[in-house]
Chain A
């Protein structure tokens, strides 16, 4: 169970202390200590340090905003690079500490009408709360006023002309006008302020058509209320107005909630560290301190459900931890006292005492967070395309509305205005620009929850086109550890006895072969009193106490190692083979093999079942590679590959038109991983920051590969559905509105449902499809 955010941040219940950030407030972030909370030092030349800061952006509606903000921030002297993502409302700013300070670029963002908040700060969380209350309040005002305005409008629909006295009719219109005021002035304020901001910048955004629509409707109805004799006619549209505003706000509110639930899955992972923690004082008591004040060596108490704030060592008792994000292991992991726990994993058991070993950016968690934040800012090609289309589309909508008004003007000026309003309100470019990023981010969040880290969102799209999978062998399909395959012994010696002797020697050595032998003999008792000497790279020799009953039948010195070390014929040598000999000569031969990862067989079978060609490129000998390939049912095998050979082989596949997914350990496959259409690095050995791959599987769960492929195909399907829906919807509704068949309230409903549909469709991706 998770601790609710309300109890983690008790201050949230008292919004009185909260204040909107302004320039003076930004100066607080100019302290290196303060900016370190949301920044990463990426380069350290002696004089000037370069930082990458991650911030949340408020006031952003669409892709056009992202471009404007990027431009504005780039103009600040000392800012080197800016990436803004509209879908996740996040930005990363790369800046040089020698030339600028956070307050400068925070101020530059605010000057453009966007509030930038440090992504990690409690301020950000508090402002989120204020923001969500404001959105709810605007929506409630629109809802309540709409209901009441409907009441006042109802009589005019049910009565014949002349049934109502003009005085009563006037009274009802005034009442409607009074209750429409809060809707237009308060609930619609975001539409107006965003549209105005964009006009000032000579750009247009999705809010402009809507704002014009609201303003025109309200102006016409107000004029008709107070001066019914004018050319604008005597019809009032307060009911339509409040209704479509209500629909638009409902749509946006639900869309935002859905979006923050799914896209927020990424955010939830990056915000898991507690802000404060109980630290043990020298006298044994506990005090609450902010996590950023922790130092290495501190002892902290982590409560049930809390995340470990740092990498550390458990001091007392067993710790049950959920490490799914960091290792991909979905089952809780039990650490005994003295075991190490990792930052960002949840404490599932009782409260734990932990000594802090590594903090902040040194932890693997921080590396994962940095990686995922960078990925969320990634702009996939499909999203870029939608952004490019959005602006001309909006221009077209404005022109179409003007054209429709001009057409209808001659027949009926009042009707002309309402047709124009319907055109402005019905179009939904948001469906267009939301279609791709929401789907990709949802999938990235889902994969991250299952231990797959997505470094580039583009990879999700590319993954769906893959038809060929190339595996590296060592460290990818196989574990680094070896496994005992078979034993041959001298007549009269049982294989168990031989293994027992070999393991007794091997237990003194850390060589992989020795460890495999010890592991294989784990159930057998060890021989007593051996005096072992290790010759590096050749073998082990031991003298023993011949009176020991288990040493019956042995004589002289016991040797374990290569054939030459044991004094045997060199023709017996084979890959992964060791011998045991005593003074009388050969005793036993052990054949060892690399052990396959437990899920490799299923993963390869599942990939082949999906119709993918599976290849194995190995730097190991062809014999070893063929043996592993045979076990897995892989037919295309290449052994003895140098990195250049692997690259050439892959290029050859790509020239034939194949889209190649390369799965490697990320250490010695760098060039091949980089050249593949999509690359996956497997295993925790990879330093995350340096991995060359598009995706990382830190827990080496090969079984995720087919799942990832399936999910990526579904994602692309959803993206295509969304884009198709946006196109079809706009293509049918705009002509309908122009021809006057669509009243304004229906237009508002249509637009709200359309963007909701797009986000809801993407939300389907937040779960794996278990049906297939």
Chain B
């Protein structure tokens, strides 16, 4: 059971790390224009 004293803090750090990745995804616009990127193939000028 002692391993939990290591694993629980590690899981907290891991969670914070994953949130960091999510932060990058949100602020670099990964969740925006989900449809128009696909439609761009029809756009002659883009």
Contacts and interface: CB of A to CB of B under 8 A. Distances in A.
Given A13-B29, A133-B27, A172 B8 contact: yes
B12 A144 contact: no
Interface in A169-194: 171-172, 175, 178-179, 182
A137 B27 contact: yes
B45 A171 contact: no
Interface class of chain B by DSSP: helix
A1 B27 contact: no
Interface in B1-43: 1, 4-5, 8-9, 11-12, 15, 18-19, 22-23, 26-27, 29, 31-33, 36, 39-40, 42-43
A321 to B, nearest CB: 19
A4 B29 CA distance: 14
Contacts of A7: 36, 40, 43, 46
Contacts of A4: 33, 36, 39-40
B22 A6 contact: no
A3 B45 CA distance: 10
A173 to B, nearest CB: 10
B26 A140 contact: yes
A171 B15 contact: no
A9 to B, nearest CB: 11
23 contacts: A1-B42, A3-B43, A4-B36, A6-B33, A7-B36, A13-B29, A15-B27, A133-B32, A136-B31, A137-B23, A140-B19, A140-B26, A141-B22, A144-B15, A144-B18, A144-B22, A145-B15, A165-B1, A171-B4, A171-B8, A178-B12, A179-B12, A179-B15
Contacts, number: 63
A535 to B, nearest CB: 60
Nearest to A144: B19
A137 B1 contact: no
B19 A141 contact: yes
A720 B17 CA distance: 48
A136 B31 CA distance: 9
A148 interface: yes
A200 interface: no
A132 B31 CA distance: 10
Interface string A553-565: 0000000000000
Given A137-B26, A140-B22, A168 B15 contact: no
B1 A168 contact: yes
Contacts of B46: 7
Contact of B8 (A6, A132, A165, A175): A175
B26 A133 contact: yes
B27 A152 contact: no
A175 B36 contact: no
Interface string A147-173: 010011000000000000101100110
Top-8 shortest CB links A-B? A4-B36, A137-B26, A148-B15, A6-B33, A175-B8, A175-B12, A140-B22, A7-B46
Contacts of A528: none
A8 B5 CA distance: 53
Nearest to A152: B8
B15 A6 contact: no
A151 B40 CA distance: 42
Interface of A: 1, 3-7, 13, 15, 129, 132-133, 136-137, 140-141, 144-145, 148, 151-152, 165, 167-168, 171-172, 175, 178-179, 182, 303
B36 A6 contact: yes
Given A4-B40, A5-B36, A129-B32, 13 more contacts: A5-B33, A6-B32, A6-B36, A133-B32, A140-B19, A144-B19, A145-B19, A168-B1, A171-B8, A172-B8, A175-B8, A182-B19, A303-B45
Contacts of B40: 4, 7
A102 B36 CA distance: 36
A270 to B, nearest CB: 21
A172 B22 CA distance: 24
B26 A171 contact: no
A129 B45 CA distance: 24
A175 B15 CA distance: 11
Interface residues of B, number: 25
Nearest to A151: B11
A132 B5 CA distance: 39
Contacts of A141: 19, 22
A549 B16 CA distance: 98
A17 to B, nearest CB: 15
Contacts of B42: 1
A724 B44 CA distance: 51
B39 to A, nearest CB: 7
B24 to A, nearest CB: 11
A6 to B, nearest CB: 5
Contacts of B23: 137
Contacts of A1: 39, 42
A7 B32 CA distance: 12
A266 B25 CA distance: 31
Contacts of B19: 140-141, 144-145, 182
A290 to B, nearest CB: 19
A167 B4 CA distance: 10
Nearest to B14: A148
Contacts of A13: 29
Given A6-B33, A179-B15, A136 B26 contact: yes
A162 to B, nearest CB: 14
A137 B26 CA distance: 6
Nearest to B18: A144
Contacts of B32: 6, 129, 132-133
A156 to B, nearest CB: 13
Contact of B11 (A132, A140, A144, A148): A148
Nearest to A168: B4
Nearest to A136: B26
A364 to B, nearest CB: 29
A3 B12 CA distance: 44
Nearest to A182: B19
Contacts of B29: 13, 133
Contacts of B9: 175
Contacts of A168: 1, 4
A140 B20 CA distance: 11
Q: Which of A129, A151, A172, A178 has the most CB of B within 10 A?
A: A178
A7 B36 CA distance: 9
Nearest to B13: A178
Contacts of A3: 43
A132 B45 CA distance: 28
Contacts of A6: 32-33, 36
Contacts of B39: 1, 4
Contacts of B31: 136
A178 B19 CA distance: 14
Q: Which of B12, B15, B27, B43 has the most CB of A within 10 A?
A: B15
Nearest to A4: B36
